[in-house]
Amino acid sequence: MVSLFFLLIVAVALAAFAFGRSRGRAFVGGGARLHSLPVYHGLFLATLCVLPMLVALAVWTPLAPRYVEARTLAALPADLAPQNALEQEGRLREARLVALGQFAGTPDPGIAVAADAYSGARTEAEVALLVLGLAGAAAGFAFGRRRLAPDFRARNSFEHVTKVVLIACSGVAILTTVGIVFSVLFETLRFFARYPWYDFLFGLQWSPQTAIRADQVGQSGTFGAVPLFAGTTLIMLIAMMVAGPVGLFAAIYMSEYATPRVRAVAKPVLEVLAGIPTVVFGFFAALTVAPFIKSVGETLGLSVASESALAAGLVMGVMIIPFVSSLSDDVINAVPQSLRDGSYGMGATRSETIKRVVLPAALPGIVSALMLAISRAVGETMIVVMAAGLAGNLTFNPLEAVTTVTVQIKTLLVGDQEFDSAKTLSAFALGFVLFFFTLALNIIALRIVRKYREQYD
Amino acid sequence: MTTMPNIELAKATAAEAADEAVTKVVARDVNVYYGDKHALHDVSIDIPEKAVTAFIGPSGCGKSTFLRCINRMNDTIPICRVSGRIEIDGSDIYDRGLDPVQLRAKVGMVFQKPNPFPKSIYENVAYGPRIHGLTSSKADLDEVVTMSLKRAGLYEEVKDRLTSPGTGLSGGQQQRLCIARAIAVNPEVILMDEPCSALDPIATAKIEELIDELRENYTIVIVTHSMQQAARVSQRTAFFHLGKLVEEGSTEQIFTAPQDKRTQDYITGRFG
Ligand SMILES: Nc1ncnc2c1ncn2[C@@H]1O[C@H](COP(=O)(O)OP(=O)(O)OP(=O)(O)O)[C@@H](O)[C@H]1O
Ligand SMILES: [Mg+2]
> Is B97 touching A (CB cutoff 8 A)?
no
Domain ranges of chain B: 12-267
Residue A431 has pLDDT above 80, yes or no: yes
| pLDDT tier at B2, thresholds 50, 70, 90 | very low
What local confidence, expressed as pLDDT, does residue B3 receive?
45
Residue B9 has pLDDT above 50, yes or no: no
Asked if A313 and A239 count as a contact pair (C-beta separation under 8 A), the reply is yes
pLDDT digits (tens, 9 = 90+) for A382-426: 888 888 777 777 878 888 888 888 888 888 888 766 666 778 888
Query: Distance (Å, rounded) from C-alpha B70 to C-alpha B108?
Result: 10
Instruction: Find chain B residues with C-beta within 8 A of A455's C-beta.
Output: 165
pLDDT digits (tens, 9 = 90+) for B163-193: 998 888 988 899 999 999 999 998 999 999 9
Q: How many whole angstroms from B244 Cα to the centroid of ligand 1?
A: 13
What is the arithmetic mean of pLDDT over B22-48? 92
> Is B109 touching A (CB cutoff 8 A)?
yes
Query: Distance (Å, rounded) from C-alpha A346 to C-alpha B183?
Result: 10
Q: Which residue from A341, A347, A455 is facing B128, i.e. has the nearest CB?
A: A347
Q: What is the DSSP letter of B31?
A: E
What local confidence, expressed as pLDDT, does residue A286 receive?
87
> Is A179 touching B (CB cutoff 8 A)?
no
Q: Which residue from B76, B105, B119 is facing A347, i.e. has the nearest CB?
A: B105
**At B191, which amino acid appears?**
L
What are the residues facing A2 on neighbouring strands? none
Strand pairing class (B80-88; B23-34) = antiparallel
> Is B249 touching A (CB cutoff 8 A)?
no
What local confidence, expressed as pLDDT, does residue A30 receive?
79
Does the beta carbon of B11 sit less than 6 angstroms from any atom of ligand 1? no
Residue B18 has pLDDT above 90, yes or no: no
Query: What region, left, alpha or beta, does residue A106 occupy, with left being phi > 0 and alpha being psi -120 to 50 degrees?
Result: beta
Asked if B110 and B155 count as a contact pair (C-beta separation under 8 A), the reply is no
Average pLDDT value for chain A: 86
What local confidence, expressed as pLDDT, does residue B109 receive?
93
> Is B166 touching A (CB cutoff 8 A)?
no
Strand pairing class (B52-56; B219-223) = parallel
Query: Distance (Å, rounded) from C-alpha A332 to C-alpha A354?
Result: 9
pLDDT digits (tens, 9 = 90+) for A47-71: 989 989 999 998 998 899 899 988 8
Q: How far is CA A362 from the centre of its chain?
A: 30
ipTM here: 0.86
Candidate of B30, B41, B65 to mutate for ligand 1, largest count of ligand atoms within 8 Å of Cβ: B65
Does the beta carbon of B168 sit less than 6 angstroms from any atom of ligand 1? no
What local confidence, expressed as pLDDT, does residue B15 receive?
47
pLDDT digits (tens, 9 = 90+) for B64-123: 999 999 999 988 888 899 999 999 998 899 888 888 888 998 999 999 889 999 889 999
Asked if B122 and B138 count as a contact pair (C-beta separation under 8 A), the reply is no
CA dihedral A135→A141→A147→A152, nearest 10 degrees, is 140
What is the arithmetic mean of pLDDT over B10-19? 48
> Is A261 touching B (CB cutoff 8 A)?
no
Q: Could you give all domains of chain A from N- to C-terminal order, each with its CATH number?
A: 2-152 (no CATH), 222-452 (1.10.3720.10)
Does the beta carbon of B113 sit less than 6 angstroms from any atom of ligand 1? no
Query: Distance (Å, rounded) from C-alpha B56 to C-alpha B52?
Result: 13
DSSP A218-252: S-S-EE--HHHHHHHHHHHHHHHHHHHHHHHHHHH
What is the arithmetic mean of pLDDT over B111-140? 91
Which residue of B lies nearest to A349 if distances are taken between CA atoms?
B101
Query: Distance (Å, rounded) from C-alpha A26 to C-alpha A145?
Result: 13
Q: Which residue from B76, B78, B118 is facing A344, i.e. has the nearest CB?
A: B76
What local confidence, expressed as pLDDT, does residue B253 receive?
92
Instruction: Name the packing angle between helices B171-183 and B138-151 (round to 10°).
Output: 130
Radius of gyration from C-alpha coordinates of chain B:
18
State the smallest CA–CA distance between residue A339 and chain B in angstroms: 6
Residue B23 has pLDDT above 70, yes or no: yes
Which residue of B lies nearest to A457 if distances are taken between CA atoms?
B167
Q: What is the DSSP letter of A195?
A: S
What local confidence, expressed as pLDDT, does residue B233 receive?
93
Instruction: Find chain B residues with C-beta within 8 A of A257's C-beta.
Output: none
* Strands, E assignment, A6-163: none
Residue B153 has pLDDT above 70, yes or no: yes
Does the beta carbon of B269 sit less than 6 angstroms from any atom of ligand 1? no
Candidate of B63, B77, B79, B82 to mutate for ligand 1, largest count of ligand atoms within 8 Å of Cβ: B63
What local confidence, expressed as pLDDT, does residue A321 receive?
92
What is the arithmetic mean of pLDDT over A135-154? 89
Cα atoms in the Cβ-side hemisphere of radius 13 Å centred on A147: 19
Does the beta carbon of B224 sit less than 6 angstroms from any atom of ligand 1? no
Query: Distance (Å, rounded) from C-alpha B39 to C-alpha B41?
Result: 7
Residue B19 has pLDDT above 70, yes or no: no
What local confidence, expressed as pLDDT, does residue B20 receive?
60
Q: Which helix (H) or strand (E) covers residue B40, if one does?
A: strand B37-48
Residue A325's contacts (CB-CB under 8 Å, 6 or more residues apart) are A246, A247, A248, A250, A251, A254, A270
Q: Do A347 and B101 touch (CB under 8 A)?
A: yes
Of A332, A307, A287, which Cα lies nearest the Cα of A401? A307
Asked if B189 and B70 count as a contact pair (C-beta separation under 8 A), the reply is yes
Asked if B68 and B108 count as a contact pair (C-beta separation under 8 A), the reply is no
What are the residues facing A13 on neighbouring strands? none
What is the arithmetic mean of pLDDT over A135-163? 88
Ligand 1 atom nearest residue B57's Cα: 21
Sign for the CA dihedral angle at B103, B107, B111, B117 comes to positive
What is the arithmetic mean of pLDDT over A314-343? 90
Query: Distance (Å, rounded) from C-alpha A22 to C-alpha A18?
Result: 6
pLDDT digits (tens, 9 = 90+) for A184-218: 999 899 888 888 888 888 888 887 775 555 555 54
Q: How many whole angstroms from B76 Cα to the centroid of ligand 1?
A: 14
Classify domain B12-267 by CATH architecture: 3-Layer(aba) Sandwich (3.40)
What is the arithmetic mean of pLDDT over B218-242? 93
Longest Cα–Cα distance of chain B, Å, equals 57
What local confidence, expressed as pLDDT, does residue B6 receive?
47
Q: Do B73 and A346 touch (CB under 8 A)?
A: no
Mutate to test the interface with A, among B67, B72, B75, B76 (most CBs of A within 10 A): B76
What local confidence, expressed as pLDDT, does residue A85 receive?
79
State the smallest CA–CA distance between residue B106 and chain A in angstroms: 8
Of B243, B216, B215, B256, which Cα lies nearest the Cα of B52? B215
Residue B1 has pLDDT above 50, yes or no: no
Query: Distance (Å, rounded) from C-alpha B227 to C-alpha B239?
Result: 11
Sign for the CA dihedral angle at B153, B158, B164, B165 comes to negative
Percent of chain A with pLDDT over 70: 95
Q: Do A456 and B118 touch (CB under 8 A)?
A: yes
Residue B155 has pLDDT above 80, yes or no: yes
| pLDDT tier at A454, thresholds 50, 70, 90 | low
Query: Distance (Å, rounded) from C-alpha B21 to C-alpha B51?
Result: 8
Residue A199's contacts (CB-CB under 8 Å, 6 or more residues apart) are A222, A223, A224
Which residue of A lies nearest to B70 if distances are taken between CA atoms?
A345
Query: Distance (Å, rounded) from C-alpha A35 to C-alpha A352?
Result: 62
φ and ψ at residue B217, rounded to 5 degrees: -110, -20
Ligand 1 atom nearest residue B61's Cα: 21
Asked if B269 and B2 count as a contact pair (C-beta separation under 8 A), the reply is yes
What local confidence, expressed as pLDDT, does residue A159 receive?
87
Percent of chain B with pLDDT over 70: 92
CA distances from A223 to A11, A293, A301, A344 (A): 57, 31, 35, 59
What local confidence, expressed as pLDDT, does residue A212 receive?
53
Strand pairing class (A206-207; B189-193) = unpaired
